[in-house]
Copies of this chain bind each other. A is one copy, B any other.
């Protein structure tokens, strides 16, 4: 086709846009996540995509500012949200007196990061976040509750086995404090965080260049690689006989957390203590965790979260401890789809497509009205000529039933219903069609 003088239709690199079959599969995942969040008592929140730049940049950080889409409109400095946490912090501080605490909210929405696009990285992507915050204090039971929701969510997503790896920042910090290396804590955490990606040798080299001794590095590596049941790891942690308060608090918190995980009946096969989990973000202060898919460790962490002492320090003096988790849905969907793990053979929402052979529009539309009134998604297919072509269209779209109206059917007051899955067809009386479809 010539396309003279036209603008070539395209989107920017790093933005996901799907065809109907993939979009339906994506929405199924998104709806499943939302249902899990609501099942666990979280209430929805929807914050603006555009906020004041000073709000979104409150915490600062060169990396954040470089990645953020920001612009002026009139005299206002505006920006697009780059996560759902900063808007949540702003919201809670702003509406403090109108919310009841502990406040359990979920938010599912797009966030924007102007990164250099690369495979698996998106500039616009969905985050699915839950957080629980309270004023002044928040029980450790909520850390377990967040893990329980994470378990419920991945269980219901049905994307295969998963493992939630749990740690406590205080354990790591206390262990490093014991070496007298507290000042280098963030740098060391950042290196540890890379272990799964770059390998142990690379991390050792980096720790060496930071100024850790070989003995310290070896001890740290032994510590990070401690493996086994949670009971075994907790016993090993006690045997270290580290007396500093940070480590001891971390140990107590981890013990209490595992107690609650037991109460909540989270199967032992779905979680473990992993002392090497650090989480890159600075604001975590206690429990931290990541989730990996057992059969696809190469996907890396498909969700992560943890406990923070103070959500909104840039906006309010009120201390707001919280705990939360975030699922990066766009990337997860992309990875699953790349690996052929997404069932995407439907390109329609209709369960029934009505086809007429002759001028039976009035009956066809009446039939569809009846089906829709009974919550059966349906439509009249008027495109295509000839039954064969029409049936092929219905099959291609993945619509389950073709309801055929021809001269014979009209005479006998029946519809020929063809099950496109089995190929079987039978004649159904007009008045029985709803029950037939519902029962199928």
Interface residues of A (CB under 8 A from B): 1-4, 6-12, 15-20, 23-24, 26-27, 37-52, 54-55, 58, 69-74, 76, 78, 80, 90-91, 93-95, 98-102, 104-105, 110, 112, 114, 123-124, 134, 139, 141, 145, 148, 152, 260, 262-265, 312, 314-318, 347-350, 353, 361-362, 364-366, 368-369, 372, 375-380, 382-383, 393, 396-397
Flag if B41 contacts A20 (CB, 8 Å).
no
Interface residue from B101, B369, B396 paired with A383 (Cβ < 8 Å): B101
Flag if A379 contacts B40 (CB, 8 Å).
yes
Q: 8 closest pairs, A vs B, by CB? A: A71-B71, A41-B379, A41-B350, A9-B94, A38-B349, A263-B365, A15-B48, A9-B93
Chain B residues near A397 (CB-CB < 8 A): 100
CB distance from A108 to the nearest CB of B (A): 11
Chain B residues near A42 (CB-CB < 8 A): 349
Q: With A260-B365, A361-B260 given, is the CB distance from A17 to B318 under 8 Å? A: no
| Complexed CA–CA distance, A312 and B7 (Å) | 10
Interface residue from B39, B94, B349, B382 paired with A43 (Cβ < 8 Å): B349
Which residue of the partner chain B has the closest CB to A362? B263
The oligomer's copy count stands at 2
Flag if A11 contacts B99 (CB, 8 Å).
no
| Complexed CA–CA distance, A23 and B103 (Å) | 14
Flag if A10 contacts B350 (CB, 8 Å).
no
Which residue of the partner chain B has the closest CB to A351? B41
Which residue of the partner chain B has the closest CB to A123? B50
CB distance from A96 to the nearest CB of B (A): 9
Flag if B23 contacts A44 (CB, 8 Å).
yes
CB distance from A434 to the nearest CB of B (A): 14
| Complexed CA–CA distance, A41 and B353 (Å) | 9
Interface residue from B39, B71, B350 paired with A375 (Cβ < 8 Å): B39
Chain B residues near A110 (CB-CB < 8 A): 49
Flag if A11 contacts B51 (CB, 8 Å).
yes
Q: With A348-B43, A379-B104 given, is the CB distance from A6 to B124 under 8 Å? A: no
Q: With A27-B44, A38-B377, A40-B377 given, is the CB distance from A17 to B91 under 8 Å? A: yes
Chain B residues near A318 (CB-CB < 8 A): 1
Q: With A1-B317, A19-B99 given, is the CB distance from A348 to B41 under 8 Å? A: yes
Chain B residues near A2 (CB-CB < 8 A): 317
CB distance from A57 to the nearest CB of B (A): 9
Chain B residues near A49 (CB-CB < 8 A): 49, 80, 110, 112, 124
